Amino acid sequence: MNLIQEVLTTPGIVTHIANHLSNDNKDTLRSLYFLFNDSRYRYELQPFVEKVKEEKIISIQKLYYSVGRVIEDLLPIKNYCCQYLMNHYVMGGLFDILQENGDLFFKQEKAIIDYYEAFPSNFEYALRKYRRNYRGISYKQKRKNINKALSITIVKTKDDLYSYPLG
């Protein structure tokens, strides 16, 4: 055993050294703990090491709680962004269908109903965009198509009445 090891493993010396270490100096405490393979030496440092372990557990718990709170706050924002993107793609797709098929689309009430049932607000937006942007037909024909799509009423039987006002 060399002189440094004899001095540091003397009972009470390492406890005195550990008492003078600051709380921010955890690496030095860890180095002291693993410096010698002596059970008595490690037993003296055990209370200090336990304190560091408890502080670490508490900080991890605080971090876990904070991250959980942040995630709870961010989830609605993420859901809104996903919904917005999905709506944007759906509206663009519906507008493309209206633009490509024009009059043919408005002659098929079943297609109008299916698209309206699947995407009510997106379909209404696509119709408005169609009314504003589509220049392939006259305003009168466009207005007729829009009016037809905005006021679809289908009577299958006396009890089955479907009305699709888009407003």
Question: Facing residues of 162 across strands?
Answer: 154
Query: Tens digit of pLDDT per residue, the chain (167 long)?
Result: 576 767 766 777 777 777 777 666 677 777 777 776 677 777 777 887 788 888 889 988 898 888 888 888 888 888 888 888 877 777 777 777 777 776 676 666 667 767 776 766 677 667 666 666 655 566 666 666 666 665 554 445 555 555 555 44
Task: Report residue 153 as tokens.
Answer: 């009423």
Predicted model pTM: 0.41
**Taking the domains of the chain in order of start, what are their residue ranges?**
3-63, 81-152
Q: What is the CA radius of gyration of the chain?
A: 37
